[in-house]
Structure 1
Amino acid sequence: MDWKQPLCCLLCSLPLLVTLEIQTINSINELEERNFGKTFPQHGIPLLYWFSTLIDIDQNAIIRFKEGSYDPVTDIPFELVENSGSLPYMIPSGERAYYSAGDFESGSFSYLPFYVTQDFYNSRNHAGKNLDRIIIVIDKWYTPVRVDQVYVAEVSECNLPNVTSNTSITYKVGIQLLRQIITLTSPLDCQNKFLKEIFPHLGFSLTLAENMFGQPGFPLFMALSGYDLVDRYNITAQAWSCSPLLPAGVRKSLCDTSRQELAIRTSHDGHAVISWHGLPSSVLKVHTTVALFQTGDRSTALVQQRIDGQASGTLETSVPLNPGLQVQLIKQDVSDATIWQGPEFNDGNRQIPVSVGNASASMQLFTRKGYAGVRLYIRKTFVNWRDDFYYSWVGFYASEEDSNEDYLSGQWQWVTRFTKHKLLSLFRWDVYEYVCNTAITPGLHARFFLTEYYEWARTKPWDM
């Protein structure tokens, strides 16, 4: 039977010989009627909500990214994908291409917010936890870039990386649908009771969504889209030691996980701080432990501590901040069982690289072993960057209030002396890094100077 999977993937990789008409979803009502991303642990509906938070749509229906939500040099948080037939043909061009987000086996998934990735981390052995994608056409001929088309797709089980030919369901997303979602993401100046009066048909679905999700407008969007909230609640309630849904009329107390958070914060010496918040009352009645693990080694916790009865708290550790750290909440019993997993720590704090002036380069603050570092992404087409940046340097600053002359003592470097990171350098860009001798701390940031104190770029302050 082992031949079936390779054959499946081979067939999936062949270009489609028949051009299929792709239906357009023009409203949330139409989305509810479509068979896309409706069951646990699929993430297509959260992906749509997330994408709507990245963009603005003008009166001419032109879609552009909000400042700081997309890097045109690396394309983070999206990845370039090859269209082998499942999407409309497009003449190959360096300025216009298909890009995708939502693949949990790709490097860019760590830039997705936890409300998109949480079911992937916590779906145990459920099938279908990496099926959904959002695919867009980015046109870089314009400055700033614009998004010409938006699609959602469900890939087949024989998913091939960075190829769109293996999609089994594909829909085009209409401008009106995106406008409706954007409207929902804006904070609503009304109470939940008023929302239920506006959307009476949602009934108990909206109540369930509000008990599981806390982002503005997200519970309402999940309910309106037709996501199977009852199934998700029952599955996650089991993990949180909550009672499953009872018959109608006996729904007095629901398990509220909308505010729960397991996260990694930053100490003032570059070490990991375990943080937990908003744990439901159900787990406060059992013996629980917070533990810190490193990706690739789930057998031994780096740090762990009993937190029985504590709904919120922090725990400082001596573990240096590094990518792949993850907090888990564990139920202690005859055999320890993981209740919930937080997101894996992203060494760039999930911050999108910032553009360096008008050059084909971008810059990102990151941490390695608890120390602060700067990562430069240089487009391979920018062949004269060493000449253009010959007098350029990067310095580290403790506060945004500091003047350009007040960089941390000795914590700076000429750009041309950065070290090339061969593993991160790809076919479209090279990566150069500099790690200083200062611990990463809240508020610390980096500034890029073209010459002397002529500032060309600045990262956001480290905010953890």
Structure 2
Amino acid sequence: MMRMSGRVMSCCAALFLALASVSAVERLNSINDLKKINFGQSVPKHTLLLLHWFANVVDIDSNNIVRLTFDPNDDDFGSHHYGNFERMLEQTPYGYKYYTVGNLLLDEREQLPDYVVHPRAEYAGRNWDRIIFRVRLQSTGWQTLQQMDRVYITQHYGIPGNTTYDPEHTYEITTNLLRQIREFSVGANSLMILRNRYGSNASDFQLSEIRNIWGNLACLGLLLFIVIQERYNFIQQCAILQNETKRKEERGGNKVVTQPYIPHCNIQEPRQNQENGDTWFFLMLVVVFIYVFAILRSAF
């Protein structure tokens, strides 16, 4: 009985550790979700360039099946196997494997586009940003269009021989977000169409400036403007409004201020899997309890 009890406790501990790793990754489903990330501070701006390239190099069919168009086993684009030794991500099911791409030093065949390898100065990074993706392995060997079911953006930093990934700023990228980013590919849509579709407040003058600066990468320039610059402008406007409200409160003493505090201005980075993660975690707890109950019942 004691031996069985210890076995049950070991199973529970393993399951809880697995659940903890799963619940720690925030899912980004749209460009609006991307705007919540503090690019340039906690996450490198260069991540957006890498993600833009990746979204446009994979294939997405009408059934939302994402497939690779390159071979990570052949080191294409400097990609290679990721072992998930830190248990940062969920453990791979049988027949799946993680890969990572984004280390510019490993792109020995210079396959990555120039805007990723030699970006504009304000988007250059320290070569920390990475994309991790999970691939379903084929029993018949490598096929050109390999199916993929998970994509993450993350960071990998440290000194040679002592590097680590950053679980606090690792985000899952959904197929829907990949589709939206693909709309900003070279020559895919006009800037005005994209501006209106995604609710950007960029003026016609600003669109003209983006064209002049980015040339044939103008759609990418607009994506960066929407995700980074508009977020920054909004935070600045919120700070001004909040300071004005605070000054009115100080001048008015205990008088009621007509302009209230604006809580929606408090843009913060998304908390790790806050609502969806809590629901998922609760459901998995139910599974754990059912599993433990079944073991105990069989023990008697």
**So what's the TM-score if we normalise by structure 1?**
0.38
Shift of 1:155: 3.3
Partner of 1:412: none
Alignment pair present for 1:90 and 2:110: no
Shift of 1:221: 1.6
Residue identity matched to 2:220:
F
Counterpart CA distance in 1 for 2:110 and 2:162 is 16
Identity of aligned residues (%): 28
1:130 to 121, 127, 130: 127
2:223 corresponds to 1:221? yes
**1:162-201 to 2 correspondence within 5 Å?**
165-185=165-185, 187-188=187-188, 190=190, 192=191, 199-201=199-201
Alpha-carbon distance, 1:194 to partner: 6.0
Contact (CA 8 Å) 1:56, 1:65: kept in 2 or not? yes
Q: CA deviation at 1:118?
A: 1.5
Aligned-partner residue type, residue 146 of structure 2: V
CA deviation after TM superposition for structure 1 residue 147, in Å: 1.2
CA contact (8 A) 2:152 2:170 kept: yes
**Compared CA separation, residues 153 and 200, structure 1 to 2 (3 A):** closer
Residue deviations 1:77-128 (CA, integer Å, cap 9, x gap): 222122122111225x6x52111111233345832111112238x57xx995
Contact persistence 2:52–2:181 (CA under 8 A): yes
Q: What does residue 101 of structure 1 align with?
A: 101
| C-alpha separation in 2, matches of 1:88 and 1:170 | 12
> What amino acid is the match of 1:64?
R
Aligned counterpart for 1:51 among listed residues 54, 71, 78: 54
Once the two structures are TM-superposed, the CA of residue 39 in structure 1 deviates from its matched residue by: 8.9
Q: For 1:89 and 1:162, locate their aligned partners in 2 and report how far apart those are by CA, in whole Å.
A: 23
* Aligned partner of residue 88 in structure 2, secondary structure: coil
Equivalent AA in structure 1 for residue 224 of structure 2: M
Offset of residue 166 of structure 1: 4.2
Higher relative contact order (CA 8 A, sep 6+): 2
Per the TM alignment, residue 52 of structure 1 is displaced from its structure 2 partner at its CA by: 1.3
Distance 1:197 1:173, change over 3 A: closer
Q: In structure 2, do the counterparts of structure 1 residues 170 and 53 end up closer, same or farther at CA, with 3 Å as the change threshold?
A: same
Partner of 2:211: 210
Instruction: Note if contact 1:41-1:128 (Cα within 8 Å) is conserved in structure 2.
Output: yes
Query: 1:22-80 deviations in whole A, cap 9, x for unaligned?
Result: 111000111011224579973100111101111221232210134xxx12541412221
- Corresponding residue of 1:111: 111
Question: Does the 8 A contact of 1:39 with 1:227 survive in 2?
Answer: no
Question: Which amino acid is the alignment partner of residue 50 of structure 1?
Answer: W
| SS in structure 2 at match of 1:105 | helix
> Paired residue for 2:254?
none
CA distance in 1, matches of 2:37, 2:149: 23
| Higher helix proportion (structure 1 or 2) | 2
Find the aligned partners of 2:152 and 2:202 in 1 and give their Cα distance. 26
Which residue of structure 2 aligns with residue 327 of structure 1? none
Match of 1:151 in 2: 152
> By how many angstroms is 1:136 displaced?
0.6
**Cα 1:195–1:23 shift into 2, 3 Å:** closer
User: Structure 1, residues 203-253: CA drift from partner, whole Å, max 9, x if none?
Assistant: 3664554343232621222122225899xxxxxxxxxxxxxxxxxxxxxxx
Looking at structure 1, the residues matched to 31 and 130 of structure 2 have their Cα atoms a distance apart, in angstroms, of 18
Shift of 1:140: 2.3
C-alpha RMSD of matched pairs (Å): 3.9
Q: Which residue of 2 aligns with 1:63?
A: 66
- For 2:66 and 2:46, the matched residues in 1 are separated by 23
Determine the C-alpha separation between the residues in 2 that align with 1:194 and 1:60. 25
In the TM superposition, what are the counterparts of 1:410-421 in structure 2 within 5 Å? none
Query: Which of 27, 34, 42 in structure 2 is aligned with 1:24?
Result: 27
What CA distance in whole angstroms lies between the structure 1 residues aligned with 2:195 and 2:20?
A: 45
Distance between the aligned counterparts of 1:72 and 1:54, measured in 2?
A: 13
Where do 5+ consecutive residues of structure 1 fail to align? 1-14, 231-464
SS in 1 for 2:119: helix
Q: Distance in 1 between matches of 2:55 and 2:96?
A: 21
